[in-house]
Amino acid sequence: MVAVGSIAVYGAYGHTGRFVVAELRRRGHVPLLLGRDRDKLRALARDQPDLETRQASVDDPASLDRALEGAVALINTAGPFALTAGPVIEAALRAGIPYVDVAAEIEANVDTFAHFAARARAAGTVVVPAMAFYGGLGDLLVTAAMGDWTTADEVHVAYGLSSWHPTEGTLAAGAVSARRRGGRRVRFTGGRLQYHDDPLPTLEWPFPTPLGPQRVIGEFTMADVVTVPSHLAVPEVRTYMAAKAASDLLSADPTALTGVDERGRSAQTFVVDVLVRSGDAKRRVTATGQDIYATSAPLAVEAVDRVLTGRTRATGVVSAGAAFDARDFLDALSAHLTLHGPADTRTACLSDDGRPGAHAG
């Protein structure tokens, strides 16, 4: 049984926050609705009159402490996480409760590992950053693909999104990250993050059917470059984004998200294709689903469920693949994801130098 008490959702009125609240309710939990904006909380309270709302600001630690009274866990969905993660983790540590967030920001996740690992471990609690579509899902897929391997030479994570209509939170987080990098790009190579100004290549990625080969932007670096190396001995982690989705994200006038089903999910579909290479051996696992923001909700809620029921492998700051049984976790999300593999492969998924497909421009 899950411990008695509410599960706090910070940023509950945001796009992803609403999906998280709905998923908690679907599983029988009682969400505690938290946020910075009092007016948005009041509007949310009108939609969810049976749930308690509490206003709290990252600039006011006492308000965060009051907001977490009686909570047994905390899910942070409020970006930019460069601004919120630190103060909210501090509050969770003071309250003695586990913390999960959905941060896709590379630097924010690096900060979480760097600043809170020792304190969380000493407190015997669990802090899971990037427990979302970017960072968490890729890490679980890579860990499942690795299987009994303890090391690998390369990890490739390719995102085949049919489109990407970013939320305001995504755009705000991207702007903060860009400022932190001084406009530079980032990659994970040689066992460390490197910042650079190199142009990004356009490649063809061999997605499996029914999607098939697609043009992707190479080194379109996502949070997997933080989560995967945090616990797996892999010196090269490369991520790729469908060119169409990258164009949508970077559009000067992005299209607003529109729900198309009873859960409020958009029509966006995705394929996340993972290839791991160790010497001449390659392993592949693929996940498909609908709406990357909606998919972050069951990932985060499943993580909290497992922490509260003692189904974790470590304490401290841990990524999804380190904290949980990756294959079992993915199987538990069968209502939200379709999993293919893991499987060994010796097909021409990677060229001899480890690069995907053929260069296309």
Residue 254 is predicted with a pLDDT of 76
Tokens 């380190």, located at residue: 322
| Percent of the chain at pLDDT exceeding 70 | 94
Alpha helices in the chain (DSSP H): 15-26, 38-47, 61-67, 81-95, 106-123, 138-146, 168-180, 224-227, 243-249, 292-308, 320-323, 326-332
Do 195 and 186 touch, CB atoms closer than 8 A? yes
Tokens of 185: 């790009």
Strand partners of residue 273: 158, 286
Q: Angle 318-322-325 (CA atoms, 0-180°, nearest 5)?
A: 135
What is the SS3 assignment for 201? Answer: coil
Residue 180 is predicted with a pLDDT of 94
One DSSP character per residue, 8-39 reads EEETTTSHHHHHHHHHHHHTT--EEEEES-HH
Residue 360 has pLDDT above 50, yes or no: no
Residue 301 is predicted with a pLDDT of 98
Residue 138 is predicted with a pLDDT of 98
Tokens of 85: 């993660």
Domains in the chain, CATH or no CATH each: 6-131+300-305 (3.40.50.720), 133-291+329-345 (3.30.360.10)
Could you read off the pLDDT of 297-341 as tens digits, one per residue? 999 999 999 999 999 999 999 999 999 999 999 999 999 999 998
Residue 267 identity: A
Q: What is the dihedral of CA 41, 46, 50, 53, to 10 degrees?
A: 10
Greatest alpha-carbon pair distance for the chain in Å reads 59
Please, which pLDDT band fits residue 10 given cuts at 50, 70 and 90? very high
Tokens 């063809």, located at residue: 204
Residue 250 has pLDDT above 90, yes or no: no
Please, which pLDDT band fits residue 236 given cuts at 50, 70 and 90? very high
Residue 348 is predicted with a pLDDT of 43
> Environment class of residue 5 by beta-carbon count within 10 Å: exposed (0-12), middle (13-18) or buried (19+)?
middle
Residue 264 has pLDDT above 80, yes or no: yes
Record the pTM: 0.94
Residue 354 has pLDDT above 60, yes or no: no
Residue 209 has pLDDT above 90, yes or no: no
Mean pLDDT of 197-224: 94
Residue 344 is predicted with a pLDDT of 81
Mean pLDDT of 19-26: 98
Could you read off the pLDDT of 290-304 as tens digits, one per residue? 999 999 999 999 999
Do 125 and 97 touch, CB atoms closer than 8 A? yes
Residue 24 is predicted with a pLDDT of 98
Q: Angle 344-345-348 (CA atoms, 0-180°, nearest 5)?
A: 165
Give the Å distances, CA to CA, from 60 to 7, 107, 128, 129.
21, 23, 23, 22
Higher per-residue pLDDT: 354 or 124: 124
Residue 114 has pLDDT above 70, yes or no: yes
Distance CA 244, CA 356 (A): 18
Residue 252 has pLDDT above 90, yes or no: no
